[in-house]
Structure 1
């Protein structure tokens, strides 16, 4: 058996909005993709909290998860992640406790310590609530408390939420969450789909410092991977120009709505922008089936990851569905 055949595969959906589409279309596409990968045997489907971004429709993450859960039957669904500085832990516990009560055994909570937005948007979200990334360890502990069994004389409970034991993951793009996940014995997901620089150091720190817990007896690492899989290398390289344009727009502060692919990026980006986009997508896997298999096997050899979670922000929904079908075939083959 190959490493890929033994590795769990999952999806991280940023619920992209096309230049000629709208949020309704993007949300319906998310459900179509969730049903598709459920049939293909993928492990989990996560959506991410982002705000004030015109090309991403997953801002109301827990609401969207309810929609996806109602339209699927076995797929595990979760956040990748909830940006905890934006929320009081009790509110998060009640939202995810409600989801877990409606869809038992299928809901999980990935947590990030960044705001997922700019400072002006953070203020619009929080007003005078002084949540910050420095509060993250305490907030995680508070959430675990709310999901646990009710304690004698417990002054505040999450209802729904208490006793649901919603699985918590810690997410990160630096070393902080790796160390916290290790100390608390929680599964760890590294955001290598947009910040590959520290991936090896973060994994090393997490594994070396991991302390077994009631929820996990050994380290468990999941890596984010940008994916553009197609029937040929040439087609994949063409489809990937949509991804390049999106990251370029992020750097420039332009609209993040998906743009159609182009035959060449020459004249679209400047040399230093090309370098920045390439660095941002350093873990990207782009190609036909053989190249995708080769790249993923090499990645797994270097990281020994337990699970890979893929973003795929190509322009046409049919091409996105096809990419995950190719991935499933490679795992099965």
Structure 2
């Protein structure tokens, strides 16, 4: 059992969603209110993800935003889920997270991904002459580890602050590639099953079978991110989920939009192919009343045996979003 009393620790992934009729500044305030609420509820971590060129996501300057969240909370771990390392010089990431860890000791996590977190045109704008950087991800992680190590105090290039600080590094994945890397490096592994569930089981198996103990971690540690939309009834939750479905439909169609209010039904909004495509990619979604969500999550834990669950909730109304996380926290006491 974790120090928070949960049998399976619960954490939160937030993208600072921008709602129709609102601004990124509103999104930031909503994210901070959410972080403060889930901290009170006993959630373990509050992570934010780096995305670019998306009108519905305001967490592009992730390290800056994490400072705002950490500054407005006091106990919950705050981190990246993740920083897309190929978009950045490892030294800059070491300095940014070294600064965060210096300001908020023992509370900062550094989750790293290899994808650009955006479309290819924007990736070129981000990486300029470094378009092949994704293939250099293992070397970039090692370079970052070197900057954060105490041993680097004699190196020609040093991360100040950052050097010698205890900043847990996680490897993030949405396929099997990063599972091999996390296992070889002896690092904790988080899988993005909230939008890429297809290879979840294969990735977890690869990671566990190939894990090599390290100075950072003696045994495999896994976390899976899932979508959770909980409400007082199944009908209410399914209606709330239509905001999520409309947002995802915009991604499928290449017509990005801010998250809009829920509607009564998706019938006539998406076609059969689009609905099937969305359902396939959102297979790790638990939508419904507390009983419905509990049943689905328990089956997920039985099937995956992950050590920790990270939940994300694309819900339009802030009160409904907070209520969803409250219900999830209450039902988690019954998960084994």
Per the normalisation by structure 1, the TM-score is 0.97
Structure 1 residue 165 displacement after superposition: 2.8
Q: Indicate the residue corresponding to 1:288 in structure 2.
A: 289
What is aligned with 1:271? Answer: 272
Report the Cα distance in structure 2 between the residues aligned to 1:280 and 1:80, rounded to whole angstroms.
Answer: 19
* CA displacement 1:189-216 (0-9 Å, x = unmatched): 0000000000000000000000111111
- Alignment of structure 1 residues 93-104 onto 2, 5 Å: 93-104=94-105
1:258 maps to 259
Written as runs of structure 1 = structure 2, the 5 A alignment for 1:79-98 is 79-98=80-99
Q: Measure, in 1, the Cα distance between the counterparts of 2:284 and 2:126.
A: 32
2:124 is the alignment partner of 1:123? yes
2:250–2:256 Cα contact (<8 Å) kept? yes
Is the 8 Å Cα contact of residues 152 and 158 (structure 2) preserved in structure 1?
A: no
2:136 corresponds in structure 1 to 135
Native 8 Å contact 1:150 1:157 kept in 2: no
SS in 2 for 1:169: strand
Structure 1 unaligned regions, length at least 5: none
Q: Which residue of 2 aligns with 1:327?
A: 328
RMSD (CA atoms): 1.3
| Contact 1:186 1:215 (C-alpha < 8 Å) held by counterparts | yes
Aligned twin of 2:303: 302
Deviation of 1:128 (Å): 2.5
TM-fit CA distance, 1:254: 1.2
Residue 41 of structure 1: how far off its partner (Å): 0.3
Structure 1 range deviating more: 125-134 or 226-235: 125-134
2:234 maps to which residue? 233
Q: CA deviation at 1:123?
A: 2.0
Give the CA deviation at 1:20.
1.3
**Cα offset, 1:61, TM superposition:** 0.1
Take 2:330 and 2:309, find their aligned partners in 1: how far apart are those partners?
15
Q: Which runs of 4 or more aligned residues in structure 1 lie more than 6 Å from their structure 2 counterparts after TM superposition?
A: none
Deviation of the 1:162 alpha carbon: 0.4
Instruction: Return the offset for 1:150.
Output: 3.6
Greater CA deviation, 146-155 or 163-172? Answer: 146-155
Contact kept, 8 Å, 2:182 with 2:189, in 1: the verdict is yes
Deviations 1:81-136 (A, max 9, x none): 00011001000000000000110100010000001111221122222344521100
In structure 1, how many angstroms separate the alpha carbons of the residues matched to 2:113 and 2:178?
A: 8
Q: What is the distance in 2 between the residues matched to 1:22 and 1:236?
A: 25
TM-score if structure 2 supplies the norm length? 0.96
CA distance in 2: counterparts of 1:129 and 1:165, whole angstroms = 29
Tell me if structure 2 keeps the 8 A contact 1:5–1:330. Answer: no
CA shift at 1:56, angstroms? Answer: 0.2
In the TM superposition, what is the alpha-carbon distance from 1:44 to its structure 2 partner? Answer: 0.1
- C-alpha change, 1:152 and 1:89, in structure 2 (3 Å) is closer
Q: Aligned residue for 1:23?
A: 24
Gaps of 5+ in 2: none
Kindly report which structure 2 residues correspond to 1:1-333, keeping only aligned pairs within 5 A, or say none.
5-151=6-152, 153-333=154-334
CA distance in 1, matches of 2:107, 2:257: 31
Distance 2:244 2:96 in 1: 32
Tell me, yes or no, if the aligned pair for 1:86 and 1:131 is still in contact at 8 Å: no
CA distance in 2, matches of 1:151, 1:170: 22
C-alpha distance in structure 2 between counterparts of 1:107 and 1:256, whole Å: 31
User: How big is each residue's C-alpha offset from its partner over 1:142-179, in whole Å with a ceiling of 9 and x where there is no partner?
Assistant: 11111110446411000111001311000000001111
The C-alpha deviation readout for 1:11-47, integer Å capped at 9, x for no partner, is 0001111111110110000000000000000000000
Q: What secondary structure, in the 3-state scheme, does the structure 2 residue paired with 1:6 have?
A: coil
Per the TM alignment, residue 5 of structure 1 is displaced from its structure 2 partner at its CA by: 4.7
